Structure 1
Amino acid sequence: MENRMSTQIQDRPPTPGSGSSADDRAFLGHPKGLSTLFFVELWERFSYYGMRAILLYFLIDTAAKGGLGIDETTGTAVVAIYGASVYLLSIIGGFTADRVFGARRSTLYGAVVIMAGHVCLAIPAAGTAWLGIALVALGTGLLKPNVSAMVGTLYRPEDARRDGGFSIFYMSINIGSFFSPLVVGWLRDHYGYHAGFSAAAVGMAIAIAWFILGRRNLGPAVDDVPNPLSPQERGRVAGLAVGAVVAFAVVVLLAGLWRDTVLDQVIDAISIVAVLTPIAYFTMMFRSPKVEREEKSHLAAYLPLWIGAMLFWMIFEQAAGKMALFAEKNTVTQVAGVSINPEWFQSVNPLAIVVLAPVFGWIWTRRAGRFPSTPAKMALGVGLIGMSALAMAWAFASYSGNTAPVYVLGGIFVLQTVAELCLSPVGLSATTRLAPKAFASQAMALWFLGTAAGQALAAQLIKAMDGLPNSQYYVVNGVITLVVTGVLFALVPWIRRRMATAELHSTGATSATGATDREPVRS
């Protein structure tokens, strides 16, 4: 599933004087505004994961059954590149909040665009379906970085409830992402795809209504524009935006030199952007005169961790792709007389997070200062996701025709959740510790771009291995990832030395949510 442990985390420091009074304990001992953001996020995640749970099935099913009828390989690549697009567009969401609209209006506009996308998907027409997919990606990019930021504005800097507030907030994501595949999968099974997309639209409409009605609980800080564009900058930004659109269109056209269809050209164009953008970020940071020599050493230590995380998300985000195919075509459809909808497997990950996150929080606290260190935890996470890929290769090779017991795919989802708990929260911690001071915010964007690049790479591997068994696809993924895992473990001492010097500059480094690598958090 989505990188819910690390997305949506751009917790900007509160504006001086912002934050609720310590006497405001209307929602579980926390500010009333937390209830507004809690339920907005719950319903937004319900709509997002509901749509995502049935997207691949909708793309590859026949037109007679309400689908778009595209081939399986292209459909799986589209799901991957859709995920990459969401993370790429979240950069725009952060920019609009910081420089144009503020967090509240960026969130509201994004929510409206998302709902419009779900409405388009609910209309039984191919043209509106593609428009809907694009709108959901754009709207999620606008909304995604900003809801967590507004949680941060509810608390004064000295408020001890702050970390607890984020923990409560992140539970809303697990609740929404757990129930939506169950509900939408049932609707799809009984009434068709467009009923499922309609449920996602209803969920988003509830989120918008809740957000508007709860506006008065959020305080004035959510409308702040921290670094507003000057009139001169507005013209330059508009020109750059137009230039970016034109450049992307050119890349799409150039992709026609090696691709036969417009859809394949768009997949390649987004893949190119998703890979080149983080390369540009790293190059900018390494070459910037604002980055000191020692900071460049820290950045060099961060690079292999980032590559490992990129490969992690390449495999992990196939929950709605290759793993969804296994759920539909290879897993039994009934257990003890109960019909099993393939979408239901996508609820395993959020359920496992709720159960396992406290366990891992306790383990990391007990092991603080000892093995595994932050880079070792990340290497372990990459290794475990590589093992899950080999497990999927075995599963595809061993079962066909809806014969796999439910515990096969369910167990692999749990294994991936364990890997996620090892990598995602500590990856945030490593990012904040090793980032150059002049590029702290950009470094967080760089972390999110690892997910975009990973899914873009997955899309390209899916297309390149068209015609080969899914088991071979996962063998390639697993071998690549386990080789990188070996390299990461070999580099752990070198990375730890550089992290130690980084901490001399900033002791007690935390993730953007305020949680250290000892505290797995879900987002």
Structure 2
Amino acid sequence: MSKLDKQRIVESVPQKGFFGHPKGLFTLFFTEFWERFSYYGMRAILVFYMYYEVSKGGLGLDDNLALSIMSIYGALVYMSGVIGGWLADRVFGTSKAIFYGGILIMFGHIALSIPGSLSMFFVSMVFIVLGTGLLKPNVSSVVGEMYAENDSRRDAGFSIFYMGINLGAFISPLLTSSVSDAYGFHWGFAIAAVGMFVGLIVFMATKKKNLGLAGTYVGNPLTASEKKKYSIIFGAAIVIIGGLLAVLIPNGLFTVDTFINLIGILGILIPTIYFLVMYFSPKTNEVERSRVVAYIPLFIAAVMFWAIQEQGSTILANYADKRTDLDFAGISISPGWFQSLNPLFIIMLAPVFASMWVKLGDRQPSIPKKFSLGLLFAGISFLVILIPGYISGDSLVSPLWLVLSYFIVVLGELLISPVGLSATTKLAPVAFSAQTMSVWFLASAAAQALNAQLVKFYTPANETMYFGSIGGAAILLSIILFVISPIIQKFMRGIN
């Protein structure tokens, strides 16, 4: 997109109207609020829905299979963002991608709201994965389009936008968990569908007036010959994959476990290919090549961190349901409520961390050292959760241990997540700037793919070994990263 196009977009957006920011921030804030409301509301009860008995409204799957599927779900959501970004850039623009994504997400939640249907569960997975891949990365892109490159409000605008994400993620688990406990899982999923429907209404009703041309430009549209080529490739891929599945599935050669293993391989293989392409590309100069090398240990650390953080919706959700005393201080706690802790602590602590970095200025730790500290907190969060089981054995444990674990991992998240986004923009080769951001999100996909294998080893009987091994590995990696941080800093070639 040319500078002239970017300026035309900015001029088309009303620049005052939402806390001193462009009016379009209102549209995108509430679109993303409701999308995250629907996604995290669904996620808060999904693993319970999978492994609860049919008599309790669930699907009756094996616990470990349910935990693996939950992890694969997350991996596919992050992987699909690459496809969603490509379609927006090359085919129909970010605004249409947001709308189409919201429609698919809503249909996915509607499919989940049909009681006790395993086939509809897998249909919902396809819809929600594709829909989130279309909506999630592109709504953030439209936020950036509304501001001029030198607009001092840009960072504050993104802060307000991300507050919407966390507000939606905080409120929805409380509501969907309470509704599903009282009336059944299908009503909880229906609440998530309604949330996405409201988000779509907000987006469609206000986008023309508030967003102007933002999201309407196709950055790098396909040429006629490219359309023909990709149509052939896409059609051939569908035929080949469909044919293989038609043969393999009836013969028992392609099962859910096979699919989980396949996604696990792709979770590692795809980012590895990205790194190789960026490093050996003739478009990458010597300095950029050095920065790609520096980015690799940060990426590995991020995978380890997200592998622990994302288990908050799998292993720790299971722990909340089966190992935690849910009658506390006269209150009956729903296990899904714990999913609200992460966004709550982020809302509380993000301003504190932002202020701390400003005050420290040049005295703040380097990027690799922040990553090592974040990984240290992640490891400690798992060591904390093994303590009550070690002390009390098979007895139910206080929910305060889970609260403490979620709190500690959020400290790590605030050291890694925003810092990682910033480092990605700084270390990316110019020719791969957008794709490097996709690589950053692939760290979460790789982590979830890893989790799909790790969670198979979890049982209440071996929880001390499970939490201790993973927590200890994270702490060891954090120490190694801290020790080699000066070397990484050297390879970053002037980036601080």
Give TM-score, length-normalised by structure 2. Answer: 0.93
Q: Distance in 1 between matches of 2:130 and 2:96?
A: 15
Q: Distance in 1 between matches of 2:225 and 2:237?
A: 19
Q: Distance in 2 between matches of 1:467 and 1:77?
A: 16
Partner of 1:193: 185
Q: Distance in 1 between matches of 2:142 and 2:491?
A: 33
- Aligned residue among 309, 314, 317 for 2:302: 309
Q: Is the 8 A contact 2:457 2:466 kept in 1?
A: no
Partner of 1:458: 451
Partner of 1:118: 109
Partner of 1:160: 152
Q: Distance in 2 between matches of 1:179 and 1:363?
A: 27
Letter in 1 for 2:122: W
Partner of 2:291: 298
Task: Give 3-state SS (helix, strand or coil) of 1:290's partner.
Answer: coil
User: Using a 3 Å threshold, how does the CA distance of structure 1 residues 255 and 320 change in structure 2: closer, same or farther?
Assistant: farther
In the alignment, does 2:119 pair up with 1:130? Answer: no
User: Using a 3 Å threshold, how does the CA distance of structure 1 residues 399 and 268 change in structure 2: closer, same or farther?
Assistant: farther
- Aligned residue among 488, 495, 502 for 2:488: 495
Shift of 1:248: 6.3
| Cα root mean square deviation, aligned | 2.4
Q: Please identify, of 53-62 and 292-301, the stretch whose mean Cα deviation from structure 2 is larger.
A: 292-301
- Aligned residue among 244, 268, 272 for 1:275: 268
Shift of 1:408: 0.5
Q: Is the 8 A contact 1:330 1:399 kept in 2?
A: no
- Aligned residue among 63, 69, 90 for 1:72: 63
Shift of 1:480: 2.2
Unaligned residue ranges in structure 2 (runs of 5+):
none
Q: Distance in 1 between matches of 2:483 and 2:200?
A: 49
In the alignment, does 2:413 pair up with 1:425? Answer: no
Letter in 1 for 2:261: D
Q: Is the 8 A contact 1:18 1:156 kept in 2?
A: no
Shift of 1:16: 2.7
Partner of 2:225: 232
User: Using a 3 Å threshold, how does the CA distance of structure 1 residues 254 and 356 change in structure 2: closer, same or farther?
Assistant: farther
Q: Superposition pairs for residues 82-481 of structure 1, below 5 Å?
A: 82-124=73-115, 125-216=117-208, 217-242=210-235, 262-399=255-392, 403-463=396-456, 469-481=462-474
User: Using a 3 Å threshold, how does the CA distance of structure 1 residues 19 and 84 change in structure 2: closer, same or farther?
Assistant: same
Q: Distance in 1 between matches of 2:4 and 2:264?
A: 33
Q: Distance in 2 between matches of 1:459 and 1:248?
A: 23
- Aligned residue among 37, 50, 67 for 2:41: 50
Deviations 1:286-328 (A, max 9, x none): 2111111222111111111100001111110011100001111
Q: Distance in 2 between matches of 1:249 and 1:423?
A: 40
Task: Give 3-state SS (helix, strand or coil) of 1:18's partner.
Answer: helix
Q: Is the 8 A contact 2:371 2:416 kept in 1?
A: yes
Letter in 2 for 1:141: G
Q: Distance in 1 between matches of 2:109 and 2:55?
A: 21
Deviations 1:251-278 (A, max 9, x none): 989999xx98711111111112111100
Letter in 2 for 1:277: I
Q: Distance in 2 between matches of 1:94 and 1:197?
A: 27
Letter in 1 for 2:346: I
Q: How many residues align?
A: 490
Q: Is the 8 A contact 1:252 1:266 kept in 2?
A: no
Task: Give 3-state SS (helix, strand or coil) of 1:225's partner.
Answer: coil
Letter in 2 for 1:208: L
Q: Distance in 1 between matches of 2:298 and 2:244?
A: 30
User: Using a 3 Å threshold, how does the CA distance of structure 1 residues 411 and 252 change in structure 2: closer, same or farther?
Assistant: farther
Task: Give 3-state SS (helix, strand or coil) of 1:220's partner.
Answer: coil
Q: Distance in 2 between matches of 1:41 and 1:22?
A: 19
Shift of 1:159: 2.7
Shift of 1:285: 1.1
Shift of 1:330: 1.4
User: Using a 3 Å threshold, how does the CA distance of structure 1 residues 391 and 236 change in structure 2: closer, same or farther?
Assistant: farther
Q: Distance in 2 between matches of 1:149 and 1:38?
A: 13
Q: Distance in 2 between matches of 1:252 and 1:398?
A: 49
Indicate the percent of aligned positions where both proteins have the same amino acid: 42
Q: Distance in 2 between matches of 1:483 and 1:356?
A: 26
User: Using a 3 Å threshold, how does the CA distance of structure 1 residues 243 and 479 change in structure 2: closer, same or farther?
Assistant: farther
By percentage of residues, which structure has more helix? 2
User: Using a 3 Å threshold, how does the CA distance of structure 1 residues 399 and 424 change in structure 2: closer, same or farther?
Assistant: farther
Partner of 2:29: 38
User: Using a 3 Å threshold, how does the CA distance of structure 1 residues 265 and 468 change in structure 2: closer, same or farther?
Assistant: farther
Q: Distance in 1 between matches of 2:248 and 2:63?
A: 21
Q: Please identify, of 442-451 and 261-270, the stretch whose mean Cα deviation from structure 2 is larger.
A: 261-270
Q: Distance in 2 between matches of 1:33 and 1:193?
A: 35
Q: Distance in 2 between matches of 1:13 and 1:450?
A: 34
Q: Distance in 1 between matches of 2:269 and 2:460?
A: 28
User: Using a 3 Å threshold, how does the CA distance of structure 1 residues 436 and 188 change in structure 2: closer, same or farther?
Assistant: same
Deviations 1:373-401 (A, max 9, x none): 11100111011111112222334444566
Q: Distance in 2 between matches of 1:419 and 1:399?
A: 28
Letter in 2 for 1:292: N
